[in-house]
Structure 1
Amino acid sequence: MNLYLIRHGIAEERQPDTQDEERSLTKEGKQKTQKVAQRIKQLGLQFDVIVTSPLVRAYQTSEILVATGLSTQLEKSPHLAPNGNISSWLNYWLEPKNYPQKAQIALVGHEPDLSNWAENLLWGETKDSLVLKKAGMIGIKLPEIGSPLGRSHMFWLTPPKYLL
């Protein structure tokens, strides 16, 4: 299974009168995310499913990915909200009955969670070494058997500027 960890695009600044989960993508954030999505499509990537954080900015990012034709399936997961737990996500999503081993799954979420998840999959612990830029992507291949924690391989780490 290949996981593509994608950070949401540029969002509105935090405001005292706006809930964090309601912050939308900015005009620039939408434009850059659309360009990144088009480039990903040109590179031949296709996702079996895009799983997104329920927060507005992540969901809007996912909608752009779907509109670009990168997937026809979009699902929300509370595990991808800020401070989500990778173990909870793994227990559900990595069950063979839920998704086949050959699946291409995009997870759209937030920092530092996505980088921390990547580090746990790669090294079995968080080292605060990876940083995922807004609209950036990390690709990770999970092993076919056994726990993926500390046993996965990164094959993609791209900030959006290399896709624009």
Structure 2
Amino acid sequence: MHLIIMRHGEAGWHTLDQDRELTEVGRFQVSKAAAEIAESPWRPELIWTSPYTRARQTTGIVAEILNCPVEEKSFITPDDDPGACLDALLENQSTPLMIISHMPLVGSLSTLLVDGHRRGIPFMTAQAVLLEMPVVGPGCADLRAQFLP
């Protein structure tokens, strides 16, 4: 399975966390990273997005560039347990899949899949990583590529 995990683009701080919107810089970052993904051989067939505004806005840009369907998932908000996302991945192993979410979830999910722990690696805004997994599980993924804004 190929899995692309992406953090939303830069967002403003003028409102409640779940309502924060992308800045112009954030929109540019997302477009740049999505264009790089579009040129790669690992285009997703489906995008899972957080319900938070900045993630949905990021997903809208990415989905348009990649011409990809989107499903909103309530279990991939900033402080959700990466184990819940892992459980969902086990149930739905469509490949390739893209997840657009937030820190610390994107960092903890990535390290759970690659290293088998949840300490979390840092992600810049609009950064994405490509993981390749022969089977879905903790410590089963290899980092194959990074897409930077």
Please, what TM-score do these two structures have when normalized by structure 1?
Answer: 0.83
Aligned to 1:2: 2
Aligned to 1:138: 129
Q: Counterparts in 2 of 1:101-116, with a 5 A limit?
A: 103-116=95-108
Aligned to 2:117: 125
Question: Is 1:132–1:159's contact at 8 Å kept on the other side of the alignment?
Answer: no
Name which of 43, 52, 72 aligns with 2:49: 52
Question: Is 2:33–2:148's contact at 8 Å kept on the other side of the alignment?
Answer: no
**Is 2:3 the partner of 1:11?**
no
Q: Compute the displacement of 1:119 (Å).
A: 0.7
Q: Compute the displacement of 1:139 (Å).
A: 1.1
- Read off the aligned partner of 2:3 and give its amino acid letter: L
Q: Counterparts in 2 of 1:31-46, with a 5 A limit?
A: 31-46=28-43
Distance 1:143 1:78, change over 3 A: same
Aligned to 1:63: 60
Identity %: 26
Greater radius of gyration (CA): 1
Question: Is 1:52–1:77's contact at 8 Å kept on the other side of the alignment?
Answer: yes
- Read off the aligned partner of 1:120 and give its amino acid letter: L
Q: Compute the displacement of 1:83 (Å).
A: 1.0
Name which of 16, 21, 27 aligns with 2:18: 21
Secondary structure, in 3 states, of the residue corresponding to 1:67?
helix
Q: What stretches of structure 2 of length at least 5 have no aligned partner?
A: none
CA RMSD of aligned residues (A): 1.6
Question: Is 1:52–1:58's contact at 8 Å kept on the other side of the alignment?
Answer: yes
Give the distance between the partners of 1:134 and 1:64, measured in 2 at CA: 14
Secondary structure, in 3 states, of the residue corresponding to 1:36?
helix
**Is 2:145 the partner of 1:148?**
no
Moved over 3 A (4+): none
Give the distance between the partners of 1:139 and 1:39, measured in 2 at CA: 12
**Is 2:73 the partner of 1:81?**
no
Q: What stretches of structure 1 of length at least 5 have no aligned partner?
A: none
Q: Compute the displacement of 1:157 (Å).
A: 2.9
Q: Compute the displacement of 1:28 (Å).
A: 1.6
Give the distance between the partners of 2:57 and 2:69, measured in 1 at CA: 14
Secondary structure, in 3 states, of the residue corresponding to 1:94?
helix
